[in-house]
A and B are shown apart, each in its own frame.
Chain A
Amino acid sequence: MSLLTEVGSPAASRPHFPELFTQGHALLGFVLLVYPALASDFFVTQIGAYSLIVGLIALSLMVLAGYGGMVSMAQITIAGAAAYVVAILGDNNSGVHGLGWSWWIVVPVAAGSASVLSAIFGWIAVRTEGIYTIMITLAIATACFYFTQQNYALFNGFPGYSGLRAPTVLGVYWRDPQPFYYLCLTVAAIGYVAVLYAARSTFGLTLQAIRDNPRRMRAIGFDVTAHKVFAWWLAGLLAGVAGVLLAWFNGRVSPGTIAVAPAINILVVAVIGGLRHPIGPFVGALVVVVIQTFAIDIVGAERFNTLIGLFFLVIVFISPDGILGLWARYGPHPERDGKTSG
């Protein structure tokens, strides 16, 4: 299982948390901040903001798979749950539910219920390991997909909900291209920093130790199940917040949002990007979103999915660790450069 390769094994020379942020981060942050000034609205939202949202969902998978050794196929389902809560409690124009609550109630409730749902999924899935975790979460995702598609009372069946609008706060409509991009960027940055921090916290180190040897951790008195379920809850919080953004981005949510193909897509994003570092899911999301958007212009309507598939195959073939793995292999080496950094 190359997915489960060790990530950031504790080492004596581990840098302190603030030291992780180098000029590289500053430069990247600067580029992301000025990006909307350089690109068209389409590139700001459909590529930029959408990549950040997909990256955030994939980040929640990276937390589980990279630090916890649990590969989940249900992350898009958790994001979708938050999106459905937004549709049901907020406003929609499908004429079903749409209780019209304010955004400052809806958003925490949506993210909160998604994280609780995630913890429940986790509580079911922690009894399994390796490929069985993948199977059980895939089963959960598929069941949720078919349930939402056939349930009209709560989920409004196949058409789902449309007409979801981001709120207007401080005189800004947050679904306008630039504000929405910065909103997504802020949330993604918070998620990214939080994951970096959590990975070095006592909890994060314990989780990684559990991934490496659950029996030993249990023997020295750690509650393995509780730690894993808590990791699911945290990942659910990330996916839930991303789900709220996804609902505002699409302006709608339907079973198509949480179908099996999008679920696999999230796994592809995470694997393409690489599970070594929290930046991986975002790199993967950017690559996947760009290629899925423009492949049809390159090869026409009949074969563009083949091109996407071939591209992914090539990446996984030459680097099982995704793009981050390529980077580590062919990019500059920290040791060679005589400096230790993550």
Chain B
Amino acid sequence: MSIARRTILALALAAGVALPAMTAAEAETLKIGVLATFEGAFTVLGEDSERGALTALDEFAHKAGGKDIEFIRGSSDASPDSAVRAARKLVEQDGVKILIGPLSGDEGIAVKEYAKTKPDVTFINGSSAAQDTTFRNPAPNFFRFSTDGAQWMAGLGTYAFKDKGYKSVAVVAEDYSFPYTQVFGFMAEFCKAGGHVPSKSWVPIGTKDFSSVIAALPDKVDAIYVALGGADAVNFLSQYQQAGGQAPLIGGSITVDQTVLTTKGKLHDVLIGTPSAGPTADTLDTPEWKAFVDEYKKQKGAFPSPSLFAHAYYVNAKAALLALNEVKGDLSDGGKAYRAALAKLSFMTPTGKVSLDQNREAIADIFLTEVTQGPDGALLNKLVKRIPQVNQTLGIDEAAFRALGTVSRDNPRCP
């Protein structure tokens, strides 16, 4: 009989597993899922993105459309699988009808594919910025109020070639779709201006030892374009400096972000003067931006200035809440009216006006920046130039832009 008795114990365990499912009843509050990377190489980024989303929630006093709003967190480790698993849990178990996220490029593409199987759930991007999340095979219920990685590079290629005088640049970037998109955006302008990119090094996310990459960098380049994020950027930059690297740097949007600039150590000297471009600039002095920074700083563990992840999650969360106000919190039609409201939404963010194109992709201002030391010694991205209302095709005619092909390791090329 012993096995039978053991099985009864197992049954008790199984019942414990099944019970919470049955008690997950409708609450009066409206739950919104927030999916970000709370583990892995991008943890710091994920935590800051949560601060951004919470800033928006605080701005609305935790209410929208007449309902109390509650955030439920989901965590991924920046791999597409984990993002889909977390999204599934939020949608299918926690029953959220609105999901904000994810954080990184390929996660965005994977969640977009998942969105197609859940037409009644509205997906709003976090900060993921791969081009094909919205440009090719978009999902009708996936909205992105933050710009993509190629848009973020607007103006940088021209600036590097004309103002900085770099004629040939080597690329070091992570090996996935977001850096491909960034490199694409940079090279689209840089190559057109007459520049050359003789070598590209693609490194896996989470690389610790960059010595072989650094050794393989060509000597004759004028600068190195670095598109690495979080811990990867810190590791590469410190190892490059220790190896005696002298070439000036050009930064991808997340390479000279606050998540990297706040790192302690000798990186200061290497980073000062690095040009970059992105959806935010730390020294922007409009009252809207300053108000946003003040609100952001009230969050626990905030950086001196919000990272672009905090900014992107803030903008997307704000869009989610604004549209909820517009439909008075009514999602009973499977979210149809809500999505219609989102598609028409146009509002002022701390960084200027944002609106959507027909692929539900943001059109917004982009900022050309340069790393500089603030009065208190902290590193900041100084605003060089503001490029107004950049669209996804970077101002190029859509058919011509599409003809440039999918972003990849080898596209574009100009050796």
List residues of chain A with CB under 8 Å of any chain B CB.
22-25, 27-28, 31, 35, 38-43, 45-47, 93, 146, 149-150, 152, 157-160, 162-163, 250-257, 259, 261, 283, 286, 290, 293-294, 296-297, 300-302, 304-305, 327, 331-334, 337, 339, 341
Contacts and interface: CB of A to CB of B under 8 A. Distances in A.
B18 A39 contact: yes
Per CB-CB distance, the 3 closest pairs between chain A and chain B, nearest first, are: A256-B79, A24-B3, A158-B176
Interface of B: 1-11, 13-14, 17-18, 20-22, 24, 36, 38-39, 46-47, 50, 72-75, 77, 79-82, 84-85, 88-89, 92-93, 106, 109-110, 113-114, 137, 175-177, 202, 204-205, 408-409
B81 A296 contact: no
B10 A28 contact: yes
B92 A252 contact: no
A144 B11 CA distance: 39
Contacts, number: 152
A333 B364 CA distance: 70
A42 B80 contact: no
A296 B74 contact: yes
B109 A159 contact: yes
B21 A42 contact: yes
B18 A157 contact: no
A31 B10 CA distance: 10
Contacts of B47: 301-302
Contacts of B79: 254-256, 259
25 contacts: A24-B2, A24-B6, A25-B7, A31-B11, A35-B14, A39-B22, A40-B21, A40-B22, A42-B92, A43-B93, A45-B92, A146-B204, A150-B202, A158-B177, A158-B204, A158-B205, A252-B81, A254-B106, A255-B79, A256-B81, A259-B79, A296-B73, A301-B75, A304-B75, A331-B9
Given A150-B202, A256-B79, 9 more contacts: A40-B22, A42-B93, A46-B88, A159-B109, A250-B85, A251-B84, A301-B36, A331-B5, A337-B1
B73 A300 contact: yes
B248 to A, nearest CB: 28
B110 A252 contact: yes
A162 to B, nearest CB: 5
A250 B10 CA distance: 27
Nearest to A146: B204
Given A23-B4, A47-B17, A300-B73, A162 B89 contact: no
B75 A41 contact: no
B175 A286 contact: no
A331 B50 contact: no
Given A25-B3, A40-B93, A159 B22 contact: no
B176 to A, nearest CB: 4
B105 to A, nearest CB: 9
A200 to B, nearest CB: 17
